[in-house]
A and B are shown apart, each in its own frame.
Chain A
Amino acid sequence: MLTCSVNGTSQSVAVEGRTLLVEFLREKLGLTGTHVGCDTSQCGACVVHVNGRSVKSCTMLALQAESAAITTIEGLAAPDGALHPMQAAFRDHHGLQCGFCTPGMVMSALDLLAQNPQGLSDREIREGLEGNLCRCTGYHNIVRAVSAAQSALRETDRQAA
């Protein structure tokens, strides 16, 4: 039995020892926003947050997340459907084409910004997203989106302060 919190909701679900975290999310909870791209921990489409840090959910057992707080792409938007600033930036800056990599990109980008409150240059953003592959965009608009989200999130923080 795995007990954890997913997007703020407590879950207690029977899983096998070999069940991967991504299988638990997609198949047990129906949270199919988290994608499986390569299934070999290279592409980053499966990135979710476990206790606030980004991990590749295809390379973690579900039971390793016992008692953890997990956030997936479904947990970002507001209850009224308003997009999270990072999601909005990806839309505004056309940071996606087919969209398959986007959930992982968004989750990795959020961890990247959270770990670097001093702010990141475009080059640092590009390097910081090296664990996520996109085969459509050539990355330029993704970097633009993350940079714009960085500014937007700072503005939100400033107003909150």
Chain B
Amino acid sequence: MYELDYAKPATLQDALAALAADPEARPLAGGQTFLPVLKQRLNRVSTLLDLSGLGLATITRTADAIEIGAMTTHGAIAASAEVRAAIPGLAKLAGWIGDTQVRNCGTIGGSLANNDPSACHPAAALALGATIRTDRRAIAADDFFLGMFATALDPDELIVSVSFPIPRCSNYEKFRNPASRYAMVGVFVADGPAGPRVAVTGAGQGGVFRHAAMEAALAQDFSAGAIADVATSAEDMIGDIHGSAAYRAHLVGVMARRAVEAAQT
């Protein structure tokens, strides 16, 4: 790791002021992706601003939504009785990221801001129609993910929380890379206030995406059978050492059917 300074702002305002004052400063959430990147010297920062002192590790249930603070760990989301009761698919997704130790550190805000094409959280945010609240605005998940590692966030903008409307039912199925545990294909399905939504991660060259044809079929009939014949084009799929584009396209259908079949209310 290159030399860097470490600071732990006590308030969101302090963190934002530090980011605004120094374009080379970067926020540090759980660090489970960013610290390895820094260790490999793929990136260089002047100061790491540790966001763990801002009081953002919270989970709140309102009448029709679950609001999760940006610094909430995957482990805390997976273990939350409120999340498990209201959005079982999200608790399952969080409990399936990495391993216990990674889940004890990694955060939902960090995952969404990084938008790794194989990360799990973007699929939940997109399928559940989440709203990403930042220090300055609210961004709909549909407008947030702009392709691999790209989001609508300004360089000095921080996620504060994520609000998930509570769906009628939800589920997540993931075909894991056996070594990294990242999704080779992950499919989140939800039947929520805006109708059925299907989001796919790990597969698309442009990162997480919604599967419009499956959503249309599920709107007619929310069953695994309804999407059995819905095709997934291999054209925009990732093809790599772990699986070809055609293989991933096939997996999208398999994962989606399994997810719908076992979707929980």
A residues contacting B by CB (< 8 A) are: 16-18, 20, 39-42, 44, 47, 53-56, 59-61, 63-64, 66, 108, 111-112, 128, 130-131
A residues less than 8 Å from B179 (CB atoms):
42
How many angstroms from the CA of A42 to the CA of B39 in the assembled complex? Answer: 14
The 4 nearest A-B residue pairs measured at CB = A131-B99, A17-B6, A18-B1, A63-B6
From B38, B47, B99, B181, residue with most partner A Cβ within 10 Å:
B99
Interface majority SS on B: helix, strand, loop or mixed? Answer: mixed
| Chain B interface category by residue count | 20 to 34
Among listed B57-65, B100-108, B121-129, B159-167, interface-contacting one: B100-108
A59 touches which of B3, B32, B48, B75 (Cβ 8 Å): B32
B101 touches which of A17, A39, A56, A66 (Cβ 8 Å): A56
B31 contacts the other chain (Cβ, under 8 Å)? Answer: yes
How far apart are B33's CB and chain A's nearest CB, in angstroms? 9
A residues less than 8 Å from B6 (CB atoms):
17-18, 61, 63
> Would A17 and B102 count as touching, CB distance under 8 A?
no
A residues less than 8 Å from B48 (CB atoms):
17, 61
How many angstroms from the CA of A96 to the CA of B108 in the assembled complex? Answer: 36
B residues less than 8 Å from A47 (CB atoms):
101
> Would A18 and B3 count as touching, CB distance under 8 A?
yes
B residues less than 8 Å from A131 (CB atoms):
98-102
A44 and B101 contact, Cβ closer than 8 Å, known pairs A59-B31, A61-B48: yes
How many angstroms from the CA of A130 to the CA of B2 in the assembled complex? Answer: 31
How many angstroms from the CA of A51 to the CA of B100 in the assembled complex? Answer: 15
B35 contacts the other chain (Cβ, under 8 Å)? Answer: yes
Having A17-B48, A64-B50, one finds 17 other A-B pairs with CB under 8 Å, namely A17-B3, A18-B2, A18-B38, A39-B39, A41-B102, A55-B101, A56-B101, A56-B105, A59-B36, A60-B31, A60-B35, A64-B52, A108-B101, A111-B100, A112-B100, A130-B181, A131-B100
6 interchain pairs (CB within 8 A)?
A: A17-B6, A18-B3, A39-B39, A61-B50, A64-B28, A131-B98
A residues less than 8 Å from B31 (CB atoms):
59-61, 64
How many angstroms from the CA of A29 to the CA of B22 in the assembled complex? Answer: 34
